[in-house]
Amino acid sequence: MRKTLSSFLIILLMLACSSERKDLSAGGEGAAADNQENVLPLTIDMADEALKDIISPEAKARIVGRDFAWTEGPLWLEEEKMLLFSEIPANKVHSWREGEGIGVYLDPAGYTGSESRGGELGSNGLLLDPAGKLVLCQHGDRRMARMLAPISDPAPDFETIVGAYESNPFNSPNDAVYDRQGNLYFTDPPYGLEGNMDDPAKAIPFQGVYRFGRDGRLELLLDSISRPNGIAFLPGEKELIIANSDPNKPHWYIYQLDEDGKPATGRIFQDASKLVTGEPGLPDGLKVRGDGVVFATGPGGVWVFGPSGKYLGRLKLGELTSNVALNAQGDVLFVTADSYVVMIPLK
């Protein structure tokens, strides 16, 4: 009887440990995509029939990670078949691979100082530079930085790409994109400052959009957007979309670029307040697929726009969504949604 009871307790303990691992990372090889524990409810709010050509009405959002403080900056690395994403309050970057689950990739990731501080101190947007090195928008260190170690053998050892405008430290670089020539475009809202707009350390009076050229020159492109956030090119790199995470101006702007890659004319690409009201969230991170379809996080979930800006619908996860990433084929969408990271199949 005692032996049987002991065996029973061991089995219960093993099941509990297995359940705990599944809670931390529901993306393992043995996790069935249709297991309800591993699926975040997805509602497809279809505003245009064209959305059916992008995503199946029966698509599900598979959870690949959960129980994080706040997730951001997803980046799919095709060669490694690996997803990276920031956990901003924890000052970490995590990785995920099919069959391996979640692991800590970088710690620290956005703040490397020795003084204790709070707020959104970690890394935000993640991207690769033209040489394949990892580049991070570092909130806490207030800079665009490059990881010196190779992708396959990460280490929290960084070099500054650019950290100041006219000798004043940035607010907190948020999101970024490289063009084909190797110029780095990035946004600089105040969210990484502990006091946000009222932080005494805020040294630049505006929230800028910048370009750091391959020639080493930093240029201020825009100082008129109140909270510049997500940033991406449309195919051809003649137009640049910038999200504005301002509750008073919840807009996505689009700028025509001149032959030097600088904004010439701009307009509102979409105004979230004219389409929905009262739903949590603001325009945040975004990505553009090769066919020009725009996936942009905003009020209520992930907004989907056609290349011309036509609103096609939303992918609603019931959580605040911060950013998205696409795999190389453009048929999987990764979404950072508050404490979750999910993957959604696309057509």
Residue reference for tokens 């325009």? 283
- The b-or-e profile of 258-284 (16+ CB within 10 A means b, else e) is eeebebeebeebbebeebbeeeebbbb
CA distance 226 to 247: 10
* Contact of 163 with 142, CB cutoff 8 Å: yes
Q: What does DSSP assign to residue 246?
A: B
pLDDT in tens, 79-106: 999 999 999 999 999 999 999 999 999 9
pLDDT for position 2 = 35
Domain segments of the chain: what residues?
30-345
Nearest to 205 by CA among 171, 164, 176, 246: 171
pLDDT for position 277 = 86
Structurally, at CATH architecture level, domain 30-345 sits in: 6 Propeller (2.120)
pLDDT for position 36 = 61
Peptide bond before 250: cis, by omega within 30 degrees of 0?
A: no
Residue reference for tokens 């935000």? 124
Contact residues for 269 (Cβ-Cβ < 8 A; gap 6+)? 241, 251, 252, 253, 254, 305, 309
Nearest to 142 by CA among 128, 150, 119, 129: 119
**pLDDT in single tens digits along all 347 residues of the chain:** 333 334 433 334 344 444 333 334 443 333 333 456 799 999 999 999 999 999 999 999 999 999 999 999 999 999 999 999 999 999 999 999 999 999 999 999 999 999 999 999 999 999 999 999 999 999 999 999 999 999 999 999 999 999 999 999 999 999 999 999 999 999 999 999 999 999 999 999 999 999 999 999 999 999 999 999 999 999 999 999 999 999 999 999 999 999 999 999 999 999 999 999 889 999 999 999 999 999 999 999 999 999 999 999 999 999 999 999 999 999 999 999 999 999 999 99
pLDDT for position 28 = 36
pLDDT for position 182 = 98
**C-beta neighbour count of 16 within 10 angstroms:** 10
